[in-house]
């Protein structure tokens, strides 16, 4: 009982930190919602893209592509290396950044009232002295055939080519486990003056023993004036 109370208080504290930090954060991207689980011995090749429409500030359409390789280290840690590419309207895709990411599974599935994990990120902009380091908490709660996942993240930016600042984000996904192949969901993403909401469809295609193809498609409407009018996210992960 004591551990359950401790985790509950920790979640509430981190939620308050993220919500308060969001009042002075200025970054926003609709991105992947992470789950707090690590599969021992698993490896992964991933591609995902986020495309955004023009904003109220008349910025051109843009795309952010992520290509990654990841693998588990034991049954608690999962690490991933990303090459990030950007494509603006009428321009070709160019490498823009490199990122290292790690997930640590805090609790066993079903051990507490919710499942817990931590995420750590380090990113370096290509050709610029711009760095980002982030950390946050991943929490997932199952209720029947429904599952709700929350990601709360705080990121520090620094370097000679950027003003030092702290940003934060909150992402929440609620999905219905209709079948392994098809799970409809709805997601909410929030940061300072930026909020987006929309449906997501995801699923897994079994390709054999320990081989799996995970897919996701989502579309989001901006709920604030500084948010892109529409954002689209797609992704494929080959797990083996």
Q: What is the CATH number of the domain that holds 59?
A: 2.40.160.40
How far is CA 210 from each of CA 39, 57, 73, 238, rounded to the nearest angstrom?
10, 47, 16, 10
> Cα separation of 60 and 77, whole Å?
38
pLDDT grade for 60, boundaries at 50, 70 and 90:
low
**What confidence score (pLDDT) does residue 131 get?**
97
pLDDT grade for 226, boundaries at 50, 70 and 90:
confident
Q: Which pTM value belongs to this model? A: 0.85
Q: 48 is in which domain, residue-wise?
A: 2-239
**What confidence score (pLDDT) does residue 54 get?**
63
Q: Pick the more confident residue, 156 or 60.
A: 156
Task: Count how many domains the chain has.
Answer: 1
Q: Pick the more confident residue, 154 or 59.
A: 154
**What confidence score (pLDDT) does residue 89 get?**
74
Angle at 10 between CA 101 and CA 187, to 5 degrees: 60
pLDDT of residue 9 exceeding 80, the answer is no
pLDDT grade for 55, boundaries at 50, 70 and 90:
low
């Amino acid at each position: 009982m004591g551990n359950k109370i401790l985790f509950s208080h920790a979640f509430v504290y981190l939620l308050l930190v993220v919500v308060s930090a969001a009042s002075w954060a200025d970054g926003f991207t609709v991105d992947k919602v992470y789950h707090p689980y690590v599969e021992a011995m698993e490896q992964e090749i991933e591609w995902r893209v986020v495309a955004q429409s023009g904003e109220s500030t008349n910025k051109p359409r843009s795309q952010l592509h992520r290509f990654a390789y990841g693998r588990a280290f034991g049954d608690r840690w999962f690490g991933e290396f990303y090459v990030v590419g950007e494509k603006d309207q009428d321009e070709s895709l160019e490498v823009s950044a490199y990122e290292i990411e790690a997930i640590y599974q805090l609790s066993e599935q079903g051990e507490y009232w919710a499942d817990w994990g931590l995420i750590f990120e380090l990113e370096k902009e290509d050709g610029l002295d711009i760095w980002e380091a982030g950390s946050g908490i991943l929490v997932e709660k199952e209720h029947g055939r429904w599952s709700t996942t929350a990601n709360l993240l705080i990121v520090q930016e620094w370097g000679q080519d950027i003003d030092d600042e702290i940003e934060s984000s909150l992402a929440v996904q609620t999905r219905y486990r209709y079948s392994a192949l098809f799970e409809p969901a709805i997601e909410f993403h929030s940061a300072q003056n930026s909020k987006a909401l929309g449906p997501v469809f995801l699923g897994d295609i079994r390709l054999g023993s320990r081989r799996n193809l995970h897919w996701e498609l989502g579309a989001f409407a901006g709920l604030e004036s500084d948010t892109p009018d529409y954002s689209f996210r797609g992704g494929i992960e080959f797990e083996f």
